[in-house]
């Protein structure tokens, strides 16, 4: 295929697409709003699953490089009750199918695998339109434009490319995540570090929409994700620039919880960060529009369930392979890719498979009861 592919967004999905295209000798250009690869932190830990994310990396020819950035021991898992009682614990014996890596390391690995100049930094999209000849023009905040014969929106939840295909927009789910970080935890927050353990920790309340979860990231950094089912107005009333007041207000919702769990909020070394959870309508589809498609959150933004980054990478890999397999018929390749993506996103993983993938085959009944309460 000689048609160059224009990709909007240098996240994991867009970069996986660019890499798979490169493997097959297809040129691409990736336009990214960020000014440089180091313009901002790239989020926390990701578990890359053997049934989607790792398949994408195999298609990209990067499994050896991926193994080099996996953080050993981080597949350890601990589930706690609100009083700190351990409901479930599993050590990382190296046999699990969800190895953990830092999102920033994954992105750097993908960037390093691309020809120099593939990513055009500092190109924030402000609009896109279809031209009379069927091609698509993308306008950037810096005043430049690009006309694409084949355009892929990999630009996340608030995609500027999505309106070319559908009027659907993300809606607030009613639940938000508040992120905190505890640095040098083994020495400065020893009790909390001991409670979290060596990998992932989930602290679950009786009711859905109330939890304190955490990852042990590289070194001894603890990254917490505090779930609260509250309207946006509730969060708007909190001054997140006043770190101590914000921590106290969030922690107040966890009255009666173990102090080692609430310390993931109150002892945070940064001001809490509010992350509202938005989602696109379930089962979203659109009519085929020539020369343009979407992948990842731009196509199927869902509530956090551990699958988002994995699905974005798989989207990128599958789209790249479809284009390589049909070099003379781009539209057939896009139609094939979209149909498979729609079906994939409309077919949830079997609960038994997902629970076994996470916890193994011996899940305590008390833990199963918690998941049943969340159904």
Residues 118-129 have pLDDT tens digits of 999 999 999 999
- The verdict on whether residue 167 carries a ligand-binding annotation is no
Q: Which two tokens stand for residue 219?
A: 């070194």
pLDDT of residue 374: 45
pLDDT of residue 73: 79
pLDDT of residue 375: 47
- The verdict on whether residue 47 carries a ligand-binding annotation is yes
pTM confidence score: 0.92
- The pLDDT tens digits for 93-116 are 777 788 999 999 999 999 999 999
pLDDT of residue 3: 74
In terms of phi and psi (left: phi > 0; alpha: psi -120 to 50; beta: otherwise), the region of 8 is beta
pLDDT of residue 306: 78
Cα 56 to the center of its chain, rounded Å: 15
Cα 82 to the center of its chain, rounded Å: 27
pLDDT of residue 366: 52
Q: Which residues in the chain show pLDDT less than 50?
A: 373-375
52 CB neighbour count, 10 Å cutoff: 20
- The verdict on whether residue 103 carries a ligand-binding annotation is yes
- The verdict on whether residue 361 carries a ligand-binding annotation is no
Exposed e or buried b for every residue in 315-331, given b needs 16+ CB within 10 A? Answer: bbbbbbbbbbebeeebe
């Amino acid at each position: 295929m000689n048609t160059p592919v224009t990709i909007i967004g240098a996240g994991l999905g867009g970069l996986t697409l660019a890499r798979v295209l490169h493997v097959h000798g297809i040129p691409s250009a990736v336009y990214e709003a960020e000014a440089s690869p180091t313009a901002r932190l790239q989020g926390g830990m990701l578990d890359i699953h053997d049934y989607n994310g790792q398949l994408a990396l195999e298609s990209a020819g990067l499994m050896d490089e991926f193994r080099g950035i996996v953080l050993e021991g981080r597949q350890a898992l601990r589930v706690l009750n609100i009083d700190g009682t351990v409901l479930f614990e599993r050590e990382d014996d190296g046999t699990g199918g969800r190895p953990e890596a830092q999102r920033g390391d994954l992105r750097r690995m993908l960037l390093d695998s691309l020809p120099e100049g593939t990513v055009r930094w500092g190109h924030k999209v402000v609009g896109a339109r279809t031209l009379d000849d069927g091609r698509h023009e993308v306008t950037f905040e810096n005043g430049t434009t690009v006309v694409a014969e084949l355009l892929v929106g990999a630009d996340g939840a608030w995609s500027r490319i999505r309106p070319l295909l559908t009027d659907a927009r993300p809606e607030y789910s009613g639940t938000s995540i508040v992120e905190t970080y505890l640095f040098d935890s083994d020495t400065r927050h020893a009790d909390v570090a001991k409670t979290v353990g060596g990998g992932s920790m989930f602290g679950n309340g009786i009711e859905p929409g109330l939890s304190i979860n955490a990852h042990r990231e590289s070194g001894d950094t603890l990254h917490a994700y505090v779930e609260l089912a509250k309207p946006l107005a509730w969060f708007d009333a909190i001054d997140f620039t006043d770190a101590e007041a914000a921590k106290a207000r969030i922690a107040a919702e966890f009255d009666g919880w173990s102090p080692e769990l609430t310390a993931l909020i109150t002892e945070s070394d940064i001001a809490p960060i509010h992350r509202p959870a938005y989602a696109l309508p379930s089962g979203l589809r659109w009519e085929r529009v020539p020369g343009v498609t979407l992948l990842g959150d731009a196509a199927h933004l869902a509530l956090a369930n551990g699958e988002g980054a994995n699905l974005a990478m798989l989207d990128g890999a599958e789209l790249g392979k479809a284009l390589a397999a049909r070099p003379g018929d781009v539209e057939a390749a896009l139609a094939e890719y979209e149909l498979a993506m729609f079906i994939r996103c409309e077919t949830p993983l079997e609960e038994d498979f997902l629970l076994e993938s996470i916890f193994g085959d011996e899940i305590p009944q008390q833990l199963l009861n918690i998941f049943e309460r969340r159904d």
